[in-house]
Chain A
Amino acid sequence: MQPWHQHLPIYQQLADQLAARLLDGELCEGAQMPSVRTLASCYLLNPLTVSRALQALDEDGLLENRRGLGLYVRPGARERLRQAARARFLAGEWPALRARLLRLGITEHDLDWKP
Protein backbone atom coordinates (compact mmCIF):
# COMPACT_ATOMS: atom_id res chain seq x y z
CA MET A 1 0.00 0.00 0.00
CA GLN A 2 3.01 2.31 0.30
CA PRO A 3 4.68 3.01 -3.00
CA TRP A 4 5.87 6.40 -1.71
CA HIS A 5 9.40 7.18 -0.58
CA GLN A 6 10.61 9.64 2.03
CA HIS A 7 12.68 11.95 -0.11
CA LEU A 8 10.00 14.04 -1.81
CA PRO A 9 6.54 15.29 -0.87
CA ILE A 10 3.82 12.84 -1.94
CA TYR A 11 2.16 15.31 -4.29
CA GLN A 12 5.47 15.68 -6.12
CA GLN A 13 5.85 11.91 -6.38
CA LEU A 14 2.32 11.60 -7.74
CA ALA A 15 2.97 14.39 -10.26
CA ASP A 16 6.11 12.51 -11.38
CA GLN A 17 4.16 9.25 -11.73
CA LEU A 18 1.42 10.92 -13.76
CA ALA A 19 4.07 12.59 -15.92
CA ALA A 20 5.63 9.17 -16.52
CA ARG A 21 2.23 7.79 -17.57
CA LEU A 22 1.89 10.72 -19.93
CA LEU A 23 5.32 10.09 -21.40
CA ASP A 24 4.48 6.41 -21.88
CA GLY A 25 1.41 7.45 -23.85
CA GLU A 26 -0.90 5.86 -21.28
CA LEU A 27 -2.53 9.26 -20.83
CA CYS A 28 -3.02 10.67 -24.31
CA GLU A 29 -2.73 14.25 -25.44
CA GLY A 30 -6.08 15.93 -25.74
CA ALA A 31 -7.66 13.33 -23.44
CA GLN A 32 -9.39 14.18 -20.22
CA MET A 33 -7.39 13.60 -17.05
CA PRO A 34 -8.95 11.18 -14.52
CA SER A 35 -10.88 13.09 -11.85
CA VAL A 36 -9.40 13.98 -8.48
CA ARG A 37 -11.66 11.42 -6.83
CA THR A 38 -10.72 8.65 -9.24
CA LEU A 39 -7.03 9.31 -8.72
CA ALA A 40 -7.48 9.64 -4.95
CA SER A 41 -9.15 6.25 -4.61
CA CYS A 42 -6.80 4.63 -7.10
CA TYR A 43 -3.64 5.83 -5.32
CA LEU A 44 -5.30 5.91 -1.87
CA LEU A 45 -4.39 9.53 -1.31
CA ASN A 46 -6.20 12.47 0.18
CA PRO A 47 -7.98 14.43 -2.59
CA LEU A 48 -6.12 17.59 -1.54
CA THR A 49 -2.81 15.87 -2.29
CA VAL A 50 -4.12 14.83 -5.70
CA SER A 51 -5.28 18.37 -6.46
CA ARG A 52 -1.84 19.66 -5.59
CA ALA A 53 -0.19 17.16 -7.94
CA LEU A 54 -2.53 18.15 -10.78
CA GLN A 55 -1.81 21.80 -10.03
CA ALA A 56 1.93 21.10 -10.31
CA LEU A 57 1.41 19.45 -13.73
CA ASP A 58 -0.76 22.38 -14.77
CA GLU A 59 1.97 24.82 -13.73
CA ASP A 60 4.47 22.86 -15.84
CA GLY A 61 2.22 23.55 -18.83
CA LEU A 62 1.20 19.91 -19.27
CA LEU A 63 -2.53 20.30 -18.63
CA GLU A 64 -5.23 22.69 -19.64
CA ASN A 65 -8.36 23.56 -17.77
CA ARG A 66 -11.40 23.54 -20.05
CA ARG A 67 -13.95 25.54 -18.19
CA GLY A 68 -16.75 23.42 -16.82
CA LEU A 69 -15.25 20.26 -18.30
CA GLY A 70 -12.18 19.64 -16.19
CA LEU A 71 -8.52 19.07 -16.86
CA TYR A 72 -7.21 17.81 -20.21
CA VAL A 73 -3.75 16.80 -21.33
CA ARG A 74 -2.43 19.72 -23.37
CA PRO A 75 -1.38 18.96 -26.94
CA GLY A 76 2.42 18.92 -27.07
CA ALA A 77 2.66 17.83 -23.42
CA ARG A 78 4.60 14.67 -24.28
CA GLU A 79 7.19 16.54 -26.31
CA ARG A 80 7.51 19.07 -23.53
CA LEU A 81 8.08 16.31 -20.96
CA ARG A 82 10.56 14.57 -23.25
CA GLN A 83 12.53 17.77 -23.68
CA ALA A 84 12.62 18.34 -19.93
CA ALA A 85 13.67 14.72 -19.27
CA ARG A 86 16.37 14.97 -21.97
CA ALA A 87 17.72 18.19 -20.48
CA ARG A 88 17.78 16.59 -17.03
CA PHE A 89 19.59 13.53 -18.35
CA LEU A 90 22.17 15.47 -20.34
CA ALA A 91 22.92 17.87 -17.48
CA GLY A 92 22.51 15.52 -14.53
CA GLU A 93 23.28 11.93 -15.47
CA TRP A 94 25.28 11.99 -18.68
CA PRO A 95 28.52 13.59 -17.41
CA ALA A 96 29.00 10.88 -14.75
CA LEU A 97 27.96 8.12 -17.14
CA ARG A 98 30.30 9.45 -19.82
CA ALA A 99 33.21 9.63 -17.36
CA ARG A 100 32.53 6.03 -16.34
CA LEU A 101 32.40 4.83 -19.95
CA LEU A 102 35.71 6.58 -20.65
CA ARG A 103 37.31 5.10 -17.52
CA LEU A 104 36.23 1.62 -18.54
CA GLY A 105 37.36 2.16 -22.11
CA ILE A 106 33.93 1.36 -23.49
CA THR A 107 33.42 2.51 -27.08
CA GLU A 108 30.32 2.95 -29.26
CA HIS A 109 31.17 -0.40 -30.76
CA ASP A 110 31.03 -2.19 -27.34
CA LEU A 111 27.68 -0.64 -26.53
CA ASP A 112 26.04 -1.94 -29.69
CA TRP A 113 24.40 1.48 -29.81
CA LYS A 114 22.45 2.25 -32.97
CA PRO A 115 20.53 5.50 -32.54
Chain B
Amino acid sequence: MQALIEARGLHLHYGRKKALDDLSFAVQPGRVVGLLGHNGAGKTTLMKALVGLHAAEGTLSVLGRNPCRDRVALLEHLAYIPDVAVLPRWARVSQLVTLMAGLHPKFSADRARALIRRTSVGLDDTVKHLSKGMVVQVHLALVAAIDARLMILDEPTLGLDVLSRKAFYEMLVDEWCDGERSVVISTHQVEEIENLLSDVLMLNEGRLVLSLSLEDIDRRFVALGHDPAAADAIAAAHPLLRYRVQGGSAALFDGAPPPEVAALGRRLRPSLVDLFVALTRRPEINRTQGL
Protein backbone atom coordinates (compact mmCIF):
# COMPACT_ATOMS: atom_id res chain seq x y z
CA MET B 1 0.00 0.00 0.00
CA GLN B 2 1.47 3.33 -1.04
CA ALA B 3 1.46 6.09 1.56
CA LEU B 4 -0.69 9.13 0.75
CA ILE B 5 1.77 11.44 2.47
CA GLU B 6 5.46 10.81 2.92
CA ALA B 7 7.65 13.40 4.61
CA ARG B 8 11.34 13.03 5.35
CA GLY B 9 13.48 15.63 7.06
CA LEU B 10 11.09 18.54 6.52
CA HIS B 11 12.42 21.95 7.53
CA LEU B 12 10.84 25.35 7.23
CA HIS B 13 12.01 28.70 8.54
CA TYR B 14 10.23 32.00 9.01
CA GLY B 15 13.31 34.24 8.99
CA ARG B 16 15.40 32.91 11.84
CA LYS B 17 12.51 31.14 13.51
CA LYS B 18 12.29 27.42 12.87
CA ALA B 19 8.67 26.67 12.06
CA LEU B 20 9.15 23.02 11.09
CA ASP B 21 12.19 21.21 12.42
CA ASP B 22 13.18 17.90 10.84
CA LEU B 23 9.75 16.25 10.50
CA SER B 24 9.50 12.71 9.16
CA PHE B 25 6.22 10.82 9.00
CA ALA B 26 3.88 8.95 6.68
CA VAL B 27 0.09 8.81 6.31
CA GLN B 28 -1.35 5.58 4.88
CA PRO B 29 -4.73 5.21 3.12
CA GLY B 30 -7.84 4.83 5.28
CA ARG B 31 -6.51 6.76 8.25
CA VAL B 32 -7.89 9.56 10.41
CA VAL B 33 -4.86 11.51 11.55
CA GLY B 34 -5.07 14.06 14.35
CA LEU B 35 -2.52 16.86 14.15
CA LEU B 36 -2.14 18.15 17.68
CA GLY B 37 -0.06 20.97 19.09
CA HIS B 38 -0.25 24.18 21.08
CA ASN B 39 -0.84 27.45 19.24
CA GLY B 40 2.29 28.26 17.26
CA ALA B 41 3.53 24.66 17.27
CA GLY B 42 3.55 24.55 13.46
CA LYS B 43 0.24 22.82 12.65
CA THR B 44 -1.00 25.34 10.10
CA THR B 45 2.49 25.70 8.59
CA LEU B 46 2.70 21.93 8.10
CA MET B 47 -0.76 21.80 6.52
CA LYS B 48 0.15 24.62 4.15
CA ALA B 49 3.32 22.76 3.19
CA LEU B 50 1.22 19.65 2.49
CA VAL B 51 -0.97 21.54 0.02
CA GLY B 52 1.90 23.41 -1.59
CA LEU B 53 1.29 26.84 -0.08
CA HIS B 54 4.66 26.78 1.66
CA ALA B 55 7.88 25.38 0.21
CA ALA B 56 9.62 23.22 2.79
CA GLU B 57 13.14 21.84 2.58
CA GLY B 58 13.47 18.08 2.69
CA THR B 59 11.48 15.39 0.89
CA LEU B 60 7.71 15.71 0.73
CA SER B 61 5.43 13.60 -1.38
CA VAL B 62 1.66 14.02 -1.22
CA LEU B 63 -0.37 11.56 -3.33
CA GLY B 64 2.91 10.79 -5.08
CA ARG B 65 3.51 14.42 -6.05
CA ASN B 66 5.65 17.31 -4.95
CA PRO B 67 3.03 19.73 -3.57
CA CYS B 68 4.84 22.90 -4.61
CA ARG B 69 5.73 21.80 -8.12
CA ASP B 70 2.50 19.92 -8.95
CA ARG B 71 0.07 21.99 -6.96
CA VAL B 72 -2.70 22.17 -9.57
CA ALA B 73 -2.61 18.45 -10.33
CA LEU B 74 -2.46 17.67 -6.61
CA LEU B 75 -5.52 19.76 -5.80
CA GLU B 76 -7.60 17.58 -8.10
CA HIS B 77 -7.25 14.74 -5.62
CA LEU B 78 -6.93 16.64 -2.39
CA ALA B 79 -9.53 18.58 -0.44
CA TYR B 80 -8.44 21.33 1.92
CA ILE B 81 -10.25 23.61 4.35
CA PRO B 82 -7.85 26.19 5.79
CA ASP B 83 -8.35 27.71 9.24
CA VAL B 84 -9.29 31.02 7.65
CA ALA B 85 -11.86 29.49 5.30
CA VAL B 86 -14.86 31.67 4.51
CA LEU B 87 -17.74 31.29 2.11
CA PRO B 88 -19.03 34.39 0.29
CA ARG B 89 -21.75 35.88 2.48
CA TRP B 90 -23.98 36.98 -0.38
CA ALA B 91 -24.13 33.55 -2.06
CA ARG B 92 -26.93 31.03 -1.87
CA VAL B 93 -25.91 27.47 -1.02
CA SER B 94 -27.17 26.26 -4.40
CA GLN B 95 -24.97 28.87 -6.12
CA LEU B 96 -21.93 27.57 -4.24
CA VAL B 97 -22.69 24.08 -5.52
CA THR B 98 -22.88 25.43 -9.09
CA LEU B 99 -19.67 27.39 -8.57
CA MET B 100 -17.79 24.34 -7.28
CA ALA B 101 -19.10 22.24 -10.17
CA GLY B 102 -17.53 24.73 -12.55
CA LEU B 103 -14.26 25.01 -10.62
CA HIS B 104 -13.35 21.47 -9.69
CA PRO B 105 -13.23 18.57 -12.18
CA LYS B 106 -13.77 15.94 -9.47
CA PHE B 107 -16.68 17.67 -7.77
CA SER B 108 -20.09 16.00 -7.81
CA ALA B 109 -22.95 18.47 -7.51
CA ASP B 110 -25.44 15.64 -6.84
CA ARG B 111 -23.37 14.37 -3.98
CA ALA B 112 -22.96 17.87 -2.53
CA ARG B 113 -26.72 18.41 -2.64
CA ALA B 114 -27.30 15.01 -1.00
CA LEU B 115 -24.82 15.88 1.74
CA ILE B 116 -26.39 19.28 2.33
CA ARG B 117 -29.84 17.68 2.59
CA ARG B 118 -28.47 15.75 5.59
CA THR B 119 -27.93 19.03 7.43
CA SER B 120 -30.45 21.59 8.60
CA VAL B 121 -29.28 23.94 5.83
CA GLY B 122 -31.50 24.51 2.79
CA LEU B 123 -30.13 24.89 -0.73
CA ASP B 124 -31.92 28.23 -1.05
CA ASP B 125 -30.41 29.62 2.15
CA THR B 126 -28.00 32.53 1.86
CA VAL B 127 -24.64 32.13 3.61
CA LYS B 128 -25.04 35.33 5.64
CA HIS B 129 -28.17 33.93 7.29
CA LEU B 130 -26.48 30.72 8.42
CA SER B 131 -24.99 30.12 11.84
CA LYS B 132 -21.27 29.45 12.15
CA GLY B 133 -21.91 25.73 12.65
CA MET B 134 -24.09 25.60 9.53
CA VAL B 135 -21.42 27.35 7.44
CA VAL B 136 -18.84 24.79 8.51
CA GLN B 137 -21.22 21.97 7.61
CA VAL B 138 -21.85 23.45 4.17
CA HIS B 139 -18.12 23.80 3.74
CA LEU B 140 -17.53 20.17 4.68
CA ALA B 141 -20.34 19.05 2.37
CA LEU B 142 -18.81 20.97 -0.54
CA VAL B 143 -15.35 19.58 0.11
CA ALA B 144 -16.53 16.03 0.82
CA ALA B 145 -18.30 16.04 -2.55
CA ILE B 146 -14.90 16.16 -4.22
CA ASP B 147 -13.82 12.67 -5.21
CA ALA B 148 -10.49 13.07 -3.45
CA ARG B 149 -8.21 10.66 -1.63
CA LEU B 150 -6.99 13.02 1.04
CA MET B 151 -8.68 15.76 3.03
CA ILE B 152 -6.83 18.32 5.10
CA LEU B 153 -8.83 20.21 7.70
CA ASP B 154 -7.27 23.00 9.74
CA GLU B 155 -9.24 23.44 12.97
CA PRO B 156 -12.63 22.87 11.34
CA THR B 157 -14.57 22.91 14.61
CA LEU B 158 -13.10 26.13 16.00
CA GLY B 159 -15.82 28.32 17.50
CA LEU B 160 -18.62 25.77 17.02
CA ASP B 161 -20.98 24.76 19.80
CA VAL B 162 -21.09 21.17 20.94
CA LEU B 163 -24.05 20.10 18.78
CA SER B 164 -22.52 21.55 15.62
CA ARG B 165 -19.24 19.82 16.42
CA LYS B 166 -21.04 16.53 16.88
CA ALA B 167 -22.87 16.95 13.58
CA PHE B 168 -19.56 17.75 11.91
CA TYR B 169 -17.84 14.63 13.29
CA GLU B 170 -20.80 12.45 12.28
CA MET B 171 -20.66 13.72 8.74
CA LEU B 172 -16.90 13.25 8.63
CA VAL B 173 -17.10 9.59 9.71
CA ASP B 174 -20.19 8.84 7.67
CA GLU B 175 -19.30 10.54 4.42
CA TRP B 176 -15.55 10.52 4.32
CA CYS B 177 -14.11 7.49 6.12
CA ASP B 178 -14.51 4.66 3.60
CA GLY B 179 -11.33 2.79 4.48
CA GLU B 180 -9.45 4.20 1.48
CA ARG B 181 -9.54 7.95 1.88
CA SER B 182 -7.60 9.63 4.65
CA VAL B 183 -8.05 12.85 6.54
CA VAL B 184 -5.58 14.97 8.46
CA ILE B 185 -7.35 17.15 10.99
CA SER B 186 -5.90 19.68 13.40
CA THR B 187 -7.78 20.60 16.52
CA HIS B 188 -7.54 21.67 20.13
CA GLN B 189 -10.60 19.58 21.02
CA VAL B 190 -8.38 16.58 21.70
CA GLU B 191 -10.77 14.80 24.05
CA GLU B 192 -13.64 14.97 21.61
CA ILE B 193 -11.78 13.75 18.62
CA GLU B 194 -9.53 11.19 20.29
CA ASN B 195 -11.76 8.20 19.57
CA LEU B 196 -12.26 9.16 15.94
CA LEU B 197 -8.55 9.07 15.23
CA SER B 198 -6.47 6.19 13.98
CA ASP B 199 -3.16 8.07 14.24
CA VAL B 200 -1.67 11.05 15.99
CA LEU B 201 0.95 13.57 14.94
CA MET B 202 2.01 15.72 17.88
CA LEU B 203 3.94 18.89 17.21
CA ASN B 204 5.79 20.92 19.78
CA GLU B 205 7.74 24.04 18.75
CA GLY B 206 8.03 22.77 15.19
CA ARG B 207 9.25 19.33 16.13
CA LEU B 208 7.37 16.06 15.90
CA VAL B 209 7.24 14.66 19.44
CA LEU B 210 4.98 11.75 18.53
CA SER B 211 3.88 10.04 15.33
CA LEU B 212 2.05 6.87 16.21
CA SER B 213 -1.19 4.94 15.69
CA LEU B 214 -3.67 4.95 18.57
CA GLU B 215 -3.28 1.20 18.76
CA ASP B 216 0.46 1.53 19.28
CA ILE B 217 -0.09 4.31 21.81
CA ASP B 218 -2.21 1.91 23.86
CA ARG B 219 0.52 -0.66 23.58
CA ARG B 220 3.47 1.59 24.32
CA PHE B 221 2.21 3.95 27.01
CA VAL B 222 0.95 2.66 30.33
CA ALA B 223 -1.20 4.67 32.70
CA LEU B 224 -1.50 3.45 36.28
CA GLY B 225 -4.27 4.56 38.58
CA HIS B 226 -3.14 4.38 42.21
CA ASP B 227 -3.90 5.31 45.82
CA PRO B 228 -2.26 8.41 47.29
CA ALA B 229 -0.28 6.10 49.59
CA ALA B 230 1.61 4.68 46.63
CA ALA B 231 2.51 8.10 45.22
CA ASP B 232 6.15 8.15 46.41
CA ALA B 233 6.94 4.68 45.13
CA ILE B 234 5.33 5.51 41.77
CA ALA B 235 7.18 8.82 41.50
CA ALA B 236 10.47 7.01 42.14
CA ALA B 237 9.90 4.99 38.96
CA HIS B 238 10.10 8.23 36.89
CA PRO B 239 6.75 8.41 35.11
CA LEU B 240 6.38 10.86 32.23
CA LEU B 241 3.53 12.56 33.99
CA ARG B 242 1.54 12.37 37.22
CA TYR B 243 -2.03 13.60 37.17
CA ARG B 244 -5.36 13.34 38.92
CA VAL B 245 -8.14 11.08 37.76
CA GLN B 246 -11.61 10.49 39.08
CA GLY B 247 -11.18 8.86 42.47
CA GLY B 248 -7.41 9.24 42.86
CA SER B 249 -4.11 9.77 41.13
CA ALA B 250 -2.53 8.34 38.03
CA ALA B 251 0.89 8.16 36.45
CA LEU B 252 1.81 7.79 32.81
CA PHE B 253 4.80 5.68 31.75
CA ASP B 254 6.55 5.34 28.42
CA GLY B 255 6.80 1.56 28.29
CA ALA B 256 5.83 -0.87 31.01
CA PRO B 257 6.92 0.19 34.51
CA PRO B 258 8.81 -2.39 36.61
CA PRO B 259 6.43 -5.14 37.86
CA GLU B 260 6.74 -4.09 41.51
CA VAL B 261 5.59 -0.59 40.51
CA ALA B 262 2.84 -1.89 38.21
CA ALA B 263 1.53 -3.93 41.16
CA LEU B 264 0.91 -0.69 43.10
CA GLY B 265 -1.83 0.48 40.80
CA ARG B 266 -4.23 -0.65 38.16
CA ARG B 267 -3.82 -0.11 34.49
CA LEU B 268 -5.86 2.63 32.85
CA ARG B 269 -6.30 3.58 29.24
CA PRO B 270 -3.89 6.48 28.65
CA SER B 271 -5.77 9.53 27.43
CA LEU B 272 -4.43 11.54 24.53
CA VAL B 273 -4.72 14.78 26.49
CA ASP B 274 -2.51 13.46 29.28
CA LEU B 275 -0.04 12.15 26.75
CA PHE B 276 -0.07 15.50 24.99
CA VAL B 277 0.64 17.36 28.23
CA ALA B 278 3.41 14.92 29.11
CA LEU B 279 5.13 15.08 25.74
CA THR B 280 4.88 18.78 25.07
CA ARG B 281 6.02 19.77 28.53
CA ARG B 282 9.28 17.90 28.39
CA PRO B 283 9.99 17.43 24.71
CA GLU B 284 13.75 16.90 25.12
CA ILE B 285 13.41 13.33 26.41
CA ASN B 286 10.64 12.19 24.12
CA ARG B 287 11.70 12.28 20.51
CA THR B 288 10.13 9.37 18.69
CA GLN B 289 12.70 7.57 16.63
CA GLY B 290 12.18 7.07 12.94
CA LEU B 291 8.87 6.57 11.21
Contact = CB atoms under 8 A, between A and B. Distances in A.
Interface in B208-266: 214-215, 218, 223, 225, 245, 266
Interface stretch (A38-46, A66-74, A78-86): A38-46
B269 A44 contact: no
Contacts of A4: 195
A107 interface: no
A45 B196 CA distance: 5
B170 interface: yes
Nearest to B214: A46
Given A1-B192, A7-B269, A46 B166 contact: no
A9 B268 CA distance: 9
B192 A47 contact: no
A45 B269 contact: no
A19 to B, nearest CB: 19
Interface string B165-178: 01001100110011
Contacts of B162: 1
A10 interface: yes
B271 A6 contact: yes
Contacts of B215: 48
Nearest to B32: A46
A93 B218 CA distance: 29
Chain A, interface residues (CB within 8 Å), range: 10 to 19
A48 B196 CA distance: 9
A49 interface: yes
Interface in A34-66: 37, 40-41, 44-49
A9 B223 CA distance: 12
A78 B44 CA distance: 50
A44 B169 contact: yes
B170 A41 contact: yes
A37 B181 CA distance: 13
Q: Do most interface residues of chain A lie in helix, strand or loop, or is the interface mixed?
A: loop
Given A6-B269, A7-B268, A45 B218 contact: no
B125 interface: no
Contacts of A6: 223, 225, 245, 268-269, 271
Given A1-B166, A47-B179, A10 B195 contact: yes
Given A1-B192, A9-B218, A49-B195, A44 B166 contact: yes
B198 interface: yes
B197 interface: yes
Interface in A1-38: 1-2, 4, 6-10, 37
Contact of B174 (A9, A10, A37): A37
Contact of A44 (B195, B223, B225): B195
A37 B32 CA distance: 14
Interface string A82-105: 000000000000000000000000
Interface in B79-97: none
A8 B196 CA distance: 17
B173 A47 contact: yes
Contacts of B196: 44-46
A10 B269 contact: yes
B173 A37 contact: yes
B191 interface: yes
A37 B166 CA distance: 16
Nearest to A1: B192
Given A7-B268, A46-B197, 7 more contacts: A1-B166, A1-B192, A6-B245, A7-B266, A44-B166, A45-B196, A47-B177
25 contacts: A1-B162, A1-B192, A2-B191, A6-B225, A6-B268, A6-B269, A6-B271, A7-B266, A7-B268, A7-B269, A8-B269, A10-B195, A10-B269, A37-B173, A37-B174, A40-B174, A41-B170, A44-B166, A44-B173, A44-B196, A45-B195, A46-B32, A46-B177, A47-B177, A49-B195
